[in-house]
Structure 1
Amino acid sequence: MAATSSTVERRSIEFVPSSERHGGVTQQFTLWFGATLQITAVVDGALAVVFGAHALWAIIGLLLGNLFGGAVMALHSAQGPKLGLPQMISSRAQFGVIGAALPLVLVVLMYLGFASTGTVLSGQAINRILHVDAPWVGIVIFGLITFVVAAVGYRWIHGLGRIATVLGMLGFAWITIRIFTAYDGAHLLADATFGAVPFLLAIALGAGWQLTFGPYVADYSRYLPADTPARRTFTATFAGSVLGSMWAMTIGALLASIPHSSFLDNQVGFVGELAGGGLIALVIYLVIVSGKLTINTLNAYGGAMTMLTTVTGFSKRSVVRPALRLVFVFTFLALSVVIALAASADFLDNFKNFVLLLLMVFTPWSAINLVDFYLVSRERVDIPALYDPEGRYGAFDVPALITYVIGILVQIPFLAQSMYTGPLTKMLGGADVSWIVGLVVPGAIFLVWGRATRRPPERTILPEGADDGAATTGAGVDPDADGDAAHDAEEVRR
């Protein structure tokens, strides 16, 4: 039976059979709306103005980036109901059962970075609620709360998303009103001057924000019934993530445009003061904690799932007991709390820059995964082979791995990060277009190379004993695919 709201989730890296599928696409909207309507997205929007964009053009650029990146992210989400698998397990179909560990290690590092920096911000809000000065108090409390929700799993995570959505809408509505009444928000949008470089940087900020969700977005749609239309999963995820992100980023762009704004120096305190202080500020701090708790839980749950995917690729395990999943969740969160406690302000700034640099590893992974699933394999996956290094996908997929490395290398000349600025970026005046290069180049290479080398099954192959109808079949039969019905049946029995 599926885990109930009061029990720990029993599934982890394995396939979810149809008897345990539940829920509707509305929960995808509330989860991603609640997770993205939060203070880190506010900071992301503020950075667009810090980089030199006028508030109006920053908002337009952020919107374009969110629309494009959100579409890519939502295409990953649509894979969840079809496959019933965590996102990074399905990537073994592209990179091989062991080869998938290459992007997986970098994924864990990035989510660990986001979790630790998010824990610092949330700890500040908790300390203000409790009226304590010791930084470790709020950090540890937030880490423990995150562990409880991530440990229980899927149902509680979606329940938290609904709570964060309601609280976020109320809290951010009040902040929006305060911006336009206390600081004349309309005036902040007036006299807009356009600059191409900061405008492109704003687009990159919006797109990069959305693309970072790609490696775990299907983790939270994989329990939906297999016959859930992909269009509905896509639309709900896309709408929730883009609307939540844009509301928060718009507020950030406006806050950074306030003359002599101290928002970036004291994000939590500034927002509390803007809200009006006193009891209202306490409510806003609760809103901040609920939003950060939602996204931090996603980071912890997805980070632990990614760690399990990496380890089981070598151990050949296809099922992981709930107790082991809890150990990985705890380990991930313990590391994030230790980093948050030990980090100086300078360290956190440097760590954030390092994390931003790691974004370059996600665009080629995303391009390869989507091109293979939708255009090469055409939604047909041999699920049992995803756990067998000697199966259809092998231990390593050389074309995918080479394409992935190429996808990273071609971005280097176009990078515009504080740690490194590429030579072509300097020629472009500082504009960051690396994410576009990181999507287009490996996507085009793998479309040609993948079609020439890959042999997907004629239809999706389910694990032995899976319920009928637990996964959808492909959208057609590739005349070049190897394997007839007998071969596919043998693959299921192995």
Structure 2
Amino acid sequence: MTSPEQAPLLERHTIGYVPPTERHGRVRDLFTLWFGTNIAPLPIVTGALGPALYGLDLWSSLTAIVVGHMVGGVFMALHSAQGPQMGIPQMIQSRGQFGSIGALLVVAIAGVMYVGFFASNIILAGKSLHGITPAVPLNAGIIIGALGSALICVIGYKLIHILNKIATWVLGLGILAGFVAIVVHGLPADFASRGHFTFAGWLATVALGALWQIAFAPYVSDYSRYLPEDTGVASSSSATYFGCVLGSGLSFAFGAVLALAAPEGTDTMVAAQTLTGGFGAVLLLLFLLSVISHNAFNLYGAVLSLITTVQTFRAGWTPGARARAAVSALVLVVCVIIALGASADFVTQLVHLVLALLIVLVPWTAINLIDYYLIHRGDYDIESIFRLDGGIYGRFNPRALIAYAVGIAVQIPFMNTDVYVGPVVGLVGGADLSWLVGLVITAPLYYLLARRTRAREHSVALSPAG
């Protein structure tokens, strides 16, 4: 096993299997990775939506944030624990549930989500840099932020972990200082009475927190797959859970405070600068560095999704650092074009898009976790996963696809988004219950269907051809 110090800085494997002899790192690295990456502008902007969009007061916002992140974090953490056991990226591992071709649907959806997040974050990086130095135009700031993230992405796994170890201390102390600076600078006299509780708004804010966690699920094990294979499920999942829940919870709470303390309609990043007094410039600088580091995750995820798609049809291809660099450059150009042409409310529009994407992520996460922990119990054939025909998993797993389609369909009547409002929404006070319904229906349905699939895999593996 390679020690952390001996491991090369430039990542070589990309989407390939990481053999046990090349494993390195410590489980506590997962805490700093997910805590550091969640102290960033985008979760702050998202947390501000509780009061700004749904009209919640402070305590309603905070309780919704806590509940949402604690619930969603369970799923995210259980995905993370798969990395050390499997040694492959999350989307590659999905072939074990959906088949080599069937998994492409989820890979494509994840890729779109990463591109949206990356474009949004480089816009926020541009705003932060422009706020620090008005002489730097917004568009120039966007390009600088994008290039910084691209460099981290190309180097890969080890640099991402190193940067987030630093970010845990620097950004953690920075956001705590931001809370203090807001109080010292002076809260509005009616701060505590602004907003009010509504069940629909509270549940929507819970959904935002749960979604924030579940949105990491398609790539969370990408950052744990280099850990030693004897890393326990409990240790890896708990380190991931507390790191992500605490980091994102702090950021969401900071956003809620900013939204309630600032005049209505104030941009969240502008509020962060003005409401923290003299500390505002320092805070924006920290946010700029944070978003560049954090955004490498989104570019890395988009790149792995695209490479996974290509490798599906080129089973003999083993992409390395050069392939990752080339695909990173391509995705970078596309995202910069999107960001430069985005409207002023692009980040808000992205949040609505991601809420709509929740309908397709929820049944996927249910299927993946049920299959890994209850059906296969972590026992997958790695060689089959990298074959064009899917080996014992086949090109398509009809039972998984059926459960997935049903999981999406049952959510539609309960949706309440800008894209669509379901007929049941009015009966529950406008609350969006789709993600809960999706989890409750998909998990047991897939479990019942998948038990037969597991029996078929055993018969194929034991046959002479298998």
TM-score, normalised to structure 1, is: 0.88
**Contact map agreement 1:94 1:397 (CA 8 A) in 2:** yes
Matched with 1:19 is 21
TM superposition shift of 1:261? 4.2
TM superposition shift of 1:355? 3.4
Distance 1:327 1:183 in 2: 49
Matched with 1:267 is 268
**Contact map agreement 1:255 1:261 (CA 8 A) in 2:** no
| The 10-residue stretch of structure 1 (171-180 or 239-248) with the greater mean CA deviation from structure 2 | 171-180
Distance 2:176 2:190 in 1: 19
Letter of the 2:311 partner, please give it. T
Distance 1:29 1:364 in 2: 26
Distance 1:76 1:318 in 2: 26
Matched with 1:423 is 423
- Can you list the C-alpha shifts for 1:387-439, whole angstroms capped at 9, x where unaligned? 11331011111111121122112111111112221111122121011111122
1:120-159 alignment runs, 5 A limit = 120-159=123-162
Letter of the 1:400 partner, please give it. A
**Contact map agreement 2:255 2:268 (CA 8 A) in 1:** no
Classify 1:316/1:251 alpha carbon distance in 2 versus 1 (closer, same or farther; 3 Å).
same
Matched with 2:437 is 437
1:299-310 alignment runs, 5 A limit = 299-310=298-309
Task: Give unpaired runs (5+ residues) of structure 2.
Answer: none
**Contact map agreement 1:188 1:254 (CA 8 A) in 2:** no
Letter of the 1:135 partner, please give it. L
Q: Percent identity?
A: 38
**Contact map agreement 2:185 2:277 (CA 8 A) in 1:** no
- Can you list the C-alpha shifts for 1:424-483, whole angstroms capped at 9, x where unaligned? 1122121011111122211111010001222387xxxxxxxxxxxxxxxxxxxxxxx446
**Contact map agreement 1:42 1:248 (CA 8 A) in 2:** yes
- Can you list the C-alpha shifts for 1:103-149, whole angstroms capped at 9, x where unaligned? 11111111101110111011111223343252211011111111110
| The 10-residue stretch of structure 1 (86-95 or 46-55) with the greater mean CA deviation from structure 2 | 46-55
**Contact map agreement 1:183 1:258 (CA 8 A) in 2:** no
Q: 1:55 aligns with which of 47, 53, 58?
A: 58
- How large is the RMSD of aligned CA atoms in angstroms? 2.3
Q: Say if 2:228 is the partner of 1:225.
A: yes
Distance 2:442 2:218 in 1: 17
Q: 2:76 aligns with which of 64, 73, 77?
A: 73
Q: Say if 2:284 is the partner of 1:285.
A: yes
Distance 1:86 1:39 in 2: 27
Q: 2:36 aligns with which of 34, 37, 54?
A: 34
TM superposition shift of 1:348? 5.4
TM superposition shift of 1:177? 0.5
Q: Say if 2:88 is the partner of 1:89.
A: no
Matched with 1:327 is 326
| The 10-residue stretch of structure 1 (66-75 or 287-296) with the greater mean CA deviation from structure 2 | 287-296
**Contact map agreement 1:100 1:310 (CA 8 A) in 2:** no
TM superposition shift of 1:29? 0.6
Distance 2:290 2:434 in 1: 29
SS in 2 for 1:345: coil
Count of residue pairs brought into register by the alignment: 462
Distance 2:143 2:372 in 1: 41
**Contact map agreement 1:61 1:200 (CA 8 A) in 2:** yes
Task: Give unpaired runs (5+ residues) of structure 1.
Answer: 458-480
Distance 2:345 2:92 in 1: 36
TM superposition shift of 1:346? 5.0
Matched with 1:179 is 182
**Contact map agreement 1:200 1:431 (CA 8 A) in 2:** yes
SS in 2 for 1:454: helix
- Can you list the C-alpha shifts for 1:66-86, whole angstroms capped at 9, x where unaligned? 011001000000000000010
TM superposition shift of 1:230? 1.0
SS in 2 for 1:29: helix
TM-score, normalised to structure 2, is: 0.93
